[in-house]
Amino acid sequence: MVVVEQLLSESDVAIYLENLAKASWDNGTQTAMGMAASVKNNHQANPEDDIVRQLANDVLARIGSTAKFVSSALPHKIFPPCFNRYTESEHYGFHVDAAIMRMPSINGISNNEVLRSDVSMTLFLSNPDEYEGGELIIKTEFGEQTVKLPAGYAVMYPSSSLHRVTPVTKGTRIAAITWLQSMVSDVTTRQSLYNLDQTIQALIAEGNTSREHLDNLHHVYHNLVRQHAQVG
């Protein structure tokens, strides 16, 4: 898992919530497929709503220009972000995200493009003290990880992971979710590339490493990306 701190500022979050309060919301089961539909109990903002579409585009613009997001995900395609809402007693049981997703229609025109979900992202829009319950639980090789981040923070994790949202017992939990297809499909390789890139960035920030050594590291990094990336 990778946490992206303050993808949105407090004022950004306030604007998002103000606009989402004006949007239309649908039963979340309408967008679930297969076994996930039987364990999904929440609401989702109507993606055809102009307000929702504008907010989704803003999320796309922000994550596309966030270095940590790009470094960890190496995105090739990104699904338009969706906004979900959990009120008291609502939850989403353990499920795995669909491996292949069809991109939504554009202005009523069907889109035949598909996306392989490699990485999932949850962007929290409610602060932890605004609701009880509603934790994101992700099953990993190290056991279940519990995630409940400040508003404006995002968490990224492999779409192949079993995960759930525990029942909200008080208040309201609002978040944005999206999925992306990475240029590097293998989780372990992608993690190694992320660690290498973060190390390079840390060395640059410290300013104690020679340009020659940094160039050599960049050479290794980009050649590894070139070797493993799938962009067709």
Extract the annotated binding site for 2-oxoglutarate: 173
Name the 3-class secondary structure at 208: coil
Question: Quick check: 115 and 180 in contact, CB under 8 A?
Answer: yes
The strand pairing partners of 132, in sequence order, are 170
Detail the residues annotated as belonging to a binding site for Fe cation. 95, 97, 163
Detail the residues annotated as belonging to a binding site. 95, 97, 163, 173
Residue 197, sorted as left (phi over 0), alpha (psi -120 to 50) or beta, turns out to be alpha
Q: How many beta carbons lie within 10 A of that of residue 192, not counting itself?
A: 14
| Alpha carbon distances (Å) from 211 to 6, 34, 48, 195, 222 | 31, 53, 50, 20, 16
